[in-house]
Structure formats: C-alpha cells, structure tokens
C-alpha cells in the first residue's frame, strides 16, 4: 500500500488544530512576513472542522493572546464574558462553605471566559488569512522518519475507506505523506504521534511520568433571570464532595453569554478506587444543592469530555528532535494549580515559531537549532509559571491531610515546598485491587430527565459524536481474555466506569457466567482516559478516520 501514495511537501507542518499550534502558526506567519521569508505552512486536524475536538474549562488568561494580537478584541475574539470575580467552595454531601480566600494562582478577575471550540475557530480564520493551509478531517496516523530513523520528516495521514476487516472498500483513499522541514506536534494530551516519537526517540527519558485529569463538561442553558448570570462571582470552583479529600478533582461553573453556563467536573486520574465512575461523580456534583441552586430549570445543550496533562514542569519531555518540535498540553505545558493550559500552550507554540524562524534563517532544522525553543521557554514567564506549579499535581495525587501541609509549604516557597521533585506514580499504576469485603461505592440514583440530567449515551449524542461504523476499531484491546479474567477479578473492569462514553460494556452470560467485554468505538469521545488509566496497558487508542469523533461547537 506504500507504492503510489501521494506526497505533499511544506516548510512547516502543524499536527493538531488546538491553541498551541494555531498561536504558533499565526506567530510564525507574522514573523516570516516581518523578515521577508516566504514559508509554505500547513496544519492538519483530525476533527471534521477546527474546533470540533476542542474542549476545555475554559477561563482564558489573555497574556499570550495579547502578545500575539494586542488588538484581539477589535479583531473579534469570541469572548463569552469577562470574569467579574471568582469563588472557591468546599462541598460536603449536603452543605457548602465559601473558602474565605482564593489562592493567588486561581485569581481570574479580568480574564475571559471562552468557548474553546469557538476560540480556536476564530484563531484558525486568522491563521488562514495569513496564508496557513488548514486541512481538517485528516488524522496523523504515523510519524515519517528519514533513513537515519531519528530525523522526523513529516507524518502519514490515516487511510480512509477501510472495512472492519482492515481491507480496502470501494471508496478507499490511502493516507498521504505530508512532509515538512519542521513538524510541530500539538495534538493535545495523550497524543498518539507524540507517544510514537517517545517510543522511537526516548524524549521522556529521565522525566517524571505524565499524569492526567479527565474533565466532563456541559453547556447548560438557564432560564431567563437566573441570579448567577448577574452575580459578582461568575467563576466558581468546588472541592470536597463528591470525591472527598483523598481523590483530586472538583467541579466548576462558569458563566457564558446568552443565559448559558458551562458546568464541568474534573477527576485526577491518580485515583485509587476501581469502582469510581467518572460520569456518576459528575452527576453527583450536578445534583448537589449548591449546583442545583444555579442550574435547576436548565437544559443541557452540549456535552463532552477530554483529558488534560496535569503533571507540569518535571514531566516536560525533550522539546525538540531533528526535524520536529513539541508544543501544548501534550508536552505538559499546563499550569495545574491555576487550572489553565490555553495561555501556556499558546505561548509554547509562539516560542516554537520563533525558533523555527531562526532555523529557516540558518537553513538548519536539526536539534542543534531547534533546541533553542527549550532555551526560550526557560527565559520567559512560561517557565516561571510552570515552575511555580512543579510539585502541585504530585502533591494533590497523595492521600491524607498531609498533602494540604505540603501545598501550604509550596504556596509560601514559590512551588518548592518541603520535597522538591515530589515523586508521583503513573496513573495506570494507582488503582487498588478490590478486596472482597470492600463495600461498593454508593450508586447515584440514576434518574435522568433527558433535559438537565442526561445519561452517558445521551451525552454522546449531545457531543454529536459520529464514527463511520464499517472501519477497523480505533480502540485496540491487545488481549481480550485478560479483560474478563484478570482485570475483572482484580478491578471489575474499571474501563466500564472511567470511560465517559459508555464505550466499554461487560456482558455476562446468565447461564454460563461467561464474560465478554463489548467495545462500542462509535461512542468514543476521544478523551483518551482509557489508554491512560487502563491498569494493564491493554488498551491502545489510535486515531480513527479523519473527520470522525465529536463535533463540539460551544463547549
Ligand atoms: Fe474516552 Fe477511551 Fe471512552 Fe473513547 S473509549 S470516550 S477515549 S475513555
């Protein structure tokens, strides 16, 4: 199938249409124009359109955007509302307490609440206006290397039109090789090409493991005149119930325009209880009297889920190799204590752009020149911000109240704390095996009204997720027997609970007690939780056909 494959060449190829790559592409074109350098630049995005797979909180710290485009408001940046004030609430099962102060890194006043999906669409229009060729609906399937096996020369997009059996159908279109002098991987958390580069070139060697959080989020339309829409604190974060203090995570409610709020719940994937169901925790949060006071009478308009990389500074990989650089949250560019990754991702893309301009001026695309990107990060606010949060994710992943003591010490010492380089386990290693005497987690009363409380499948419907059914499964289960034997015995198949899309179902034959793990790849929200949290490394998430997956417009 390799023969006759089409090849296209560019100077720079951006893989992924998120904020890091879009800011990088815009900045690259700005710099190239100012220096009189002509560049052919392309960007591919696996979603059907730019923004289809973009989901985030999302409170935008505009620092990087203002550097990129000081007149962003005049240029029509789609801001939902500005942050008037923020509140931090501690929830118990039936009550709530307002924390009297908000940690400085969580202060958001003057920042903007955005829909990331809308925001990246707007950035894409600007990038196209500057000459970037954007190709949505193309998934990067594999990295292409030069004959030395260490210089990245581009990527191969996925084939389209394969049947479930992997054989070409009548409408088969082979993937194309998109080659470039520099390839920029900005796929977001858990990117499959970055994983491939990591395996081939060991870019995470000596780094702390990347750890993740999964967020489930909805945009809810509220009845007219809801008090929250004019309240002083229009950004609310919560902790405590329903996770308790041993599992990291919490809820958020942000005001949007047009009587809407974005409501979400984030769970640190370092959690230990294999019976924890991420979706049920989100429902518990929504049913809490505090959340109910705001959202009751509302209607869910859109729903989605995504993981983000929370481990921060100590898990940043080597950021360049010959012919490629790595940007955005996939490369750990997220400020976990501030709960923000958009501005840090954008800045990483912009610094990568500055390095690429230098590379084109020198005509040298080896790591010797591209390594300048790492040095630029070290000399900017990006390093300072990430460095201040360097022990945060490691600390909150721990059990017991001692972690609050460590957090306090870090708060007072610019992030250093008592143990600098606080150790952390991989998220796939933290589940505790089930003890027979362990009492199962109380199930949430599964009352769904299909309006404000929607079940998992309705959530998938509201994410507008679609996959062509007759294609090879993009979720590879390496050993199905392991799932129903070892994993069932030890953890009761936690994939059936951590997946927010109801992709994994355990079927048990009533007569024979035979078990089978049924996989519904068509429901997949592309959040990547399964590959990250699976305790046996038995699930690999690969890109389905380009254009498949969620079609977010406002989350
Ligand atoms: Fe997320 Fe994996 Fe479920 Fe898809 S199958 S929705 S990537 S957990």
Q: pLDDT tens, 365-399?
A: 999 999 999 999 999 999 999 999 999 999 999 99
Give the closest residue (by CA) to ligand 1 atom 7: 528
Question: Which residue has its alpha carbon closest to ligand 1 atom 1?
Answer: 527
* Mean pLDDT value across residues 54-79: 95
N-term to C-term CA, the chain? 39
Write down the pLDDT at residue 229.
87
Strands 79-82, 112-114: pairing is antiparallel
What is the 502 CA–ligand 1 centroid distance (Å)?
A: 8
* Reduced 3-state DSSP string for 235-298: EEEEEECCCCCCCCEEEEEEECCCCEEEEEEEEECCCCCCCCCHHHHHHHHHHCHHHHHHHCCC
526 lines ligand 1 (CB under 6 A): yes
User: Is the CB of 229 inside a 6 Å radius of any atom of ligand 1?
Assistant: no
% of residues, the chain, pLDDT over 70: 97
Atom of ligand 1 nearest to the CA of 519: 5
CB–CB of 315/326 below 8 Å?
no
Residue 473 scores a pLDDT above 60: yes
Render pLDDT for 432-459 as a digit per residue (tens, 0 to 9). 999 765 555 566 567 899 999 999 999 9
Collapsed DSSP state (helix, strand, coil) of residue 384: helix
Dist. CA 463 → ligand 1 center (Å) = 13
Counting ligand 1 atoms within 8 A of each CB, the residue from 215, 307, 461, 526 with the most, and so the one to mutate, is 526
Task: Tell whether the model's pLDDT for residue 114 goes beyond 70.
Answer: yes
- Sign of the CA dihedral with 124 first, then 126, 129, and 132 last: negative
> What count of other Cβ atoms lies within 10 Å of the Cβ of residue 517?
20
For residues 66-72, give the mean pLDDT: 98
The stretch 51-61 carries a mean pLDDT of: 90
Per-residue pLDDT, averaged over 84-90, amounts to 96
pLDDT given for residue 438 in this prediction = 55
Mean pLDDT (the chain, rounded): 95
Give the pLDDT band of residue 1 (cuts 50, 70, 90): very low
Residue 3 has pLDDT above 60, yes or no: no
Beta bridge partners of 519: 504
Q: Is 541 in the pocket of ligand 1 (CB under 6 A)?
A: yes
Say if ligand 1 is within 6 A of residue 499 CB: yes
Instruction: Judge whether residue 21 has pLDDT over 80.
Output: yes
pLDDT at residue 137 greater than cutoff 60:
yes
Cβ-contact 343, 72 below 8 angstroms:
no
* Structure confidence at residue 315 (pLDDT): 98
Pocket probe mutation, ligand 1, options 216, 530, 540, max atoms within 8 Å of Cβ? 530
**For the whole model, what pTM was predicted?**
0.96
- The residue whose C-alpha atom lies closest to atom 8 belonging to ligand 1 is 499
Measure 189 CA to ligand 1 centroid, in angstroms: 13
* pLDDT (average), residues 469-476: 96
Cα 212 to ligand 1 centre (Å)? 14
Q: Tell me the pLDDT tens digit for each residue of 156-210.
A: 999 999 999 999 999 999 999 999 999 999 999 999 999 999 999 999 999 999 9
Distance 475 CA to ligand 1 centre (A): 8
Listed in sequence order, the residues at least 6 apart from 67 whose beta carbon sits closer than 8 Å to its beta carbon are 347, 350
Residue 2: pLDDT above 50? no
What is the mean pLDDT of the segment spanning 138-143? 96
Which pLDDT score is estimated for 230?
Answer: 87
pLDDT of residue 28: 98
Q: Which residue has a Cα nearest atom 5 of ligand 1? A: 524
What is the average pLDDT across 240-248? 96
Calculate how far, in angstroms, residue 10's C-alpha sits from the geometric centre of ligand 1: 33
Dihedral sign, Cα of residue 361, residue 203, residue 306, residue 547: positive
Ligand 1 atom nearest to CA at 521: 5
């Amino acid at each position: 199938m390799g023969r006759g494959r089409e090849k296209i060449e560019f100077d720079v190829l951006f893989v992924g249409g998120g904020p890091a790559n879009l800011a990088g592409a815009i900045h690259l074109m700005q710099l190239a124009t100012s220096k009189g350098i002509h560049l052919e630049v392309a960007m591919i995005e696996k979603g059907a359109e730019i923004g289809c797979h973009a989901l985030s909180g999302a409170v935008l710290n505009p620092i990087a955007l203002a550097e990129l485009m000081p007149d962003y408001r005049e240029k029509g940046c789609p801001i939902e509302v500005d942050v008037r004030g923020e509140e931090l609430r501690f929830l118990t099962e039936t009550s709530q307490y307002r924390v009297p102060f908000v940690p400085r890194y969580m202060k958001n006043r003057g920042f903007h609440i955005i829909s990331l999906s809308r925001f990246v669409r707007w950035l894409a229009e600007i990038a196209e206006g500057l000459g970037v060729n954007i190709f949505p609906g193309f998934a990067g399937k594999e990295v292409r290397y030069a004959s030395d096996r260490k210089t990245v020369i581009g990527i191969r997009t996925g084939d389209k039109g394969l049947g479930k059996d992997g054989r070409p159908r009548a409408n088969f279109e082979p993937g194309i090789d998109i080659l470039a002098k520099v390839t920029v991987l900005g796929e977001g958390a858990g990117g499959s090409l970055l994983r491939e580069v990591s395996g081939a070139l060991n870019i995470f060697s000596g780094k702390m493991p990347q750890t993740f959080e999964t967020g489930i989020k909805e945009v809810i339309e509220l009845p007219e005149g809801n008090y929250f829409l004019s309240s002083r604190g229009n950004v609310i974060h919560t902790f405590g119930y329903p996770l308790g203090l041993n599992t990291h995570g919490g809820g958020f409610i942000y005001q949007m325009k047009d009587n809407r709020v974005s409501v979400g719940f984030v769970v640190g994937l370092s959690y230990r209880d294999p019976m924890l169901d991420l979706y049920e925790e989100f429902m518990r949060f929504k049913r809490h009297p505090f959340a109910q006071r705001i959202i009751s009478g509302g209607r869910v308009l859109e729903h989605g889920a995504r993981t983000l990389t929370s481990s921060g500074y100590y898990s940043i990989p080597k950021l360049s190799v010959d012919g490629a650089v790595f940007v955005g949250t996939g490369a750990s560019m997220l400020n976990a204590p501030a709960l923000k990754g958009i501005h840090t991702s954008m800045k990483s893309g912009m610094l990568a752009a500055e390095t690429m301009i230098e590379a084109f001026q020198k005509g040298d695309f080896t790591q010797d020149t591209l390594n300048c990107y790492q040095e630029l990060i070290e000399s900017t606010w990006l390093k300072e911000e990430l460095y201040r949060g360097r022990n945060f994710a490691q600390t909150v992943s721990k059990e017991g109240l001692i972690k609050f003591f460590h957090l306090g010490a870090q708060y007072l010492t610019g992030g250093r704390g008592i143990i600098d380089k606080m150790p952390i386990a991989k998220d796939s290693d933290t589940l505790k095996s089930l003890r027979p005497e362990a009492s199962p987690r109380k199930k949430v009363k599964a009352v769904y009204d299909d309006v404000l409380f929607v079940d998992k499948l309705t959530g998938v419907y509201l994410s507008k997720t679609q996959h062509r059914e007759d294609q090879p499964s993009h979720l590879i289960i390496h050993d199905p027997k392991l799932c129903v034997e070892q994993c069932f015995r030890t953890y009761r198949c936690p994939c059936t609970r951590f997946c927010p899309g109801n992709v994994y179902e355990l079927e048990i034959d009533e007569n024979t007690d035979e078990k089978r793990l049924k996989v519904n790849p068509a429901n997949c929200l592309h959040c990547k939780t399964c590959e990250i949290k699976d305790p046996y490394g038995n699930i690999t998430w690969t890109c389905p056909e380009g254009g498949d997956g969620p079609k977010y417009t406002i989350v």
